[in-house]
Structure 1
Amino acid sequence: MKKIFITAVFAIGSLSAFAQEEATAVEATAKEAAATQDDFSEVAADELPEAVTAAVSKNYPTASIDKAYANEANQYKLEVSLEDGTAGTLYADENGNWIEM
């Protein structure tokens, strides 16, 4: 009976160790995404890659890019406004693919 109890304790202990490692990995990924989001530097709109400006024109034909920012990973943060007065922020990679941040 003691052997079964000890085996159960070790099994539960090892499962909680794996869960802790997974939680740490998720936290690290979230921190990395936040750091990426904060590391943007302003760039001129005419310095944006053609793929990024084409993606904005295709998906948001009435949008104008008010400000543009870039980071070391060649990701772009775009502050855009629409003709109807609404504004928002878009994130794209250098190939014009949208990024969720």
Structure 2
Amino acid sequence: MKNLFLSAAIILGGLTSFATTSPVTITNAKTIVLQDEYTEIKVEEVPAAVTDALKKAYPDAILSKAYKNAKSEYKLDVTVGDKVGSLYANADGSWIKK
């Protein structure tokens, strides 16, 4: 009877070692950022259509920085009151959602 319990314990103990799983960790992760490349330009270089659209949409906005990409799209860093944000526009003054 002792041998039966002993052999059952050994067999069950051996099976539990095969049932364990090791944790899986990811060691190599890639980050891909798709973004249009904007280069900083002077505020005076922004087309009049864009500045007029900004004044019409946000009369109290202060244009602090301006950027332009290869597609003639403009990124405008503006301040309205105590809020700071970025707006995107085409050369003709149409707003772009990004």
Determine the C-alpha separation between the residues in 1 that align with 2:47 and 2:54: 11
TM-score by length of 2: 0.64
**Structure 1: tracts of 5 or more residues without a match:** 1-30
Give the match for residue 42 of structure 1.
40
The 5-angstrom pairing of residues 1-80 of structure 1 reads 34-36=34-36, 39-80=37-78
Q: Deviation per CA, 1:54-85, whole angstroms, max 9, x where unpaired?
A: 00000000001010000010000000001x21
Match of 1:80, SS state, is: strand
Give the match for residue 95 of structure 1.
92
Match of 2:93, SS state, is: coil
**Structure 2: tracts of 5 or more residues without a match:** 1-31
Q: Deviation per CA, 1:41-62, whole angstroms, max 9, x where unpaired?
A: 0000000000000000000000
Give the match for residue 13 of structure 2.
none
Determine the C-alpha separation between the residues in 2 that align with 1:70 and 1:56: 16
TM-score by length of 1: 0.62
- Number of residue pairs matched? 66
Q: Which has the larger radius of gyration?
A: 2
1:86 and 2:87 correspond: no
RMSD (CA atoms): 1.2
Higher helix share: 1
Match of 1:73, SS state, is: coil
Q: Which residue identity does 1:85 align to in structure 2?
A: D
Determine the C-alpha separation between the residues in 1 that align with 2:35 and 2:82: 30
